Chain A
Amino acid sequence: AQSVTQLDSQVPVFEEAPVELRCNYSSSVSVYLFWYVQYPNQGLQLLLKYLSGSTLVESINGFEAEFNKSQTSFHLRKPSVHISDTAEYFCAVRDTGTASKLTFGTGTRLQVTL
């Protein structure tokens, strides 16, 4: 069975500063990796995903994440955050097997202030 660890429950950051949200996973087989974002009073939205190929994946709003197999990590980064990035971010993992389910981490609250 797979698991996800998001060690930081909250990350406060000033606007225009860089940010990294950490995600580590555990699995005995190959995995797919995802970052979801949840804005207040909204459902989760897929931010970006790693399925195969290039280990660096990007979203349309400036976030990127890099799959590091040796460190079993999939950290999320943004070089310059905006107030509107304030949200809860969830890392999720799924084994590549067809019967596998999506397992979420506990989430990291990103709070961007002026």
Chain B
Amino acid sequence: EAGVVQSPRYKIIEKKQPVAFWCNPISGHNTLYWYRQNLGQGPELLIRYENEEAVDDSQLPKDRFSAERLKGVDSTLKIQPAELGDSAVYLCASSLGWTINEQYFGPGTRLTVT
């Protein structure tokens, strides 16, 4: 069974440029999460999807961040424009439902904003 796929793995951009990250969850997993992991910190939830609906986006900086999950499968997280403080690893995870089921994480996208 394929795991959670993320691309790109690494991205270097200049500040004020846009950037997008893509995630393909495990087949059949209806719950998808985007986390941000700053250097030396644990992951922090940005947004959670149940199928195509964003049910928890309280931590998503909506002035510059946006996300979508069309058709309830793949998801894209976008930053526009990027700031220096956005440098971090962006993790995608998926699970079978939202209760106590295990979250499976992708390898992440390491973003460096210069």
Count of B interface residues, CB-CB < 8 Å: 22
Of all chain B residues, which has the CB nearest A99?
B56
Q: How far is the CB of A66 from chain B (nearest CB, A)?
A: 19
Identify which of B13-21, B66-74, B79-87, B97-105 touches chain A: B97-105
Q: How far is the CB of B98 from chain A (nearest CB, A)?
A: 8
User: Which A residues from 70 to 100 make CB contacts under 8 A with B?
Assistant: 90, 92, 94, 98-99
B-contact bits for A42-71, CB 8 A (1 contact / 0 none) = 111110010100000000000000000000
Contacts between chains A and B (CB distance < 8 A), count: 48
Q: Report chain B residues within 8 Å CB of A46.
A: 102-103
Q: How far is the CB of B90 from chain A (nearest CB, A)?
A: 12
Of all chain B residues, which has the CB nearest A4?
B42
From B4, B40, B45, B56, give the contact of A43 (CB < 8 A): B4
Q: Does A26 contact B (CB under 8 A)?
A: no
From A32, A42, A104, give the contact of B43 (CB < 8 A): A104
